[in-house]
Amino acid sequence: MDAGLIAIGAGLAIGLSALGTAIAQAKIGAAAIGAILEKPESFVSVLILLVIPETLVIFGFTIAILIIYVLK
């Protein structure tokens, strides 16, 4: 397959998943600040909730690697 198309596919995989993570983290982050202000002891739970959407970008990254390595 054309190297350019492979690169675009890999870029889209990681770029779009990063965008999804960013949108989710922005919303969780805003709510997290409010939660921590009201209940400081919730810091650890909130931190964990905040990093949950990072799974999306990890998947995107893995898919990008697979696209490059499998289709190369």
Partner 1 sequence: MIQRMAKMRIVGPVTLLDQVTELLQNLGVIHLEPSPGQIEGLPGIDRLALDPDHQKRKSALEKLRKDLHDLIVFLPDVRSPFPLPEPDHPSPRQGKHFLEEMKSAIDQLQPRVNGLSAQVRDCEEEQSLLFKYERVLEAMAPLLQQIQESRELDFIGLVIETEEEAVIEELRGVLGEITGNRFELFLSRVDSKSLAGLLVIHRDFSATVRESLWQENINELKLPSSLADRPFGQALKTLLTRRLELPIQIEGLRETLRQISFQWRSSLLRFEIWVENRLSQMESVVYFYQTRFAFMVYGWVPERKVFLLIHRVSRVFSGKIVAERMKMNREEINQVPVALENPPLIRPFETFIRSVSLPRYGSVDPTPFLAFFFPLFFGMILGDAGYGIILLAFSIYAGKKWGNLLLIQNLSAVFVFASLSSILFGFLYGEFFGELGVPIGIHPIWINRMEEFMVLIKISLGLGGCHLFLGMALGVMTAIRRREAKEVWVKGAGMILVAAVLMILAGTLGVLSSFFLARAGLILAVAAFIVILSFGGVRSLMELHNIVNLLSYLRLMGIGTASAALAFAANTVGRMSENVILGILAGSILHLINLLFGIFSPAIQSLRLHYVEFFGNFFQPGGREYRPFKKIKRV
By rule CB under 8 A, what count of residues binds partner 1? Answer: 15
Two structure tokens written together for 1: 């397959």
Contacts of partner 1 in 25-64 (CB under 8 A): 44-45, 47-48, 51-52, 54-55, 57-59, 61-62
Shortest distance in whole angstroms from residue 53 CB to partner 1: 11
Under DSSP, the state recorded for 72 is: -
What 3-state class would DSSP assign to 1?
A: coil
Q: Are 64 and 6 in contact (CB under 8 A)?
A: no
Interface with partner 1 by CB under 8 A: which residues?
A: 44-45, 47-48, 51-52, 54-55, 57-59, 61-62, 65, 69
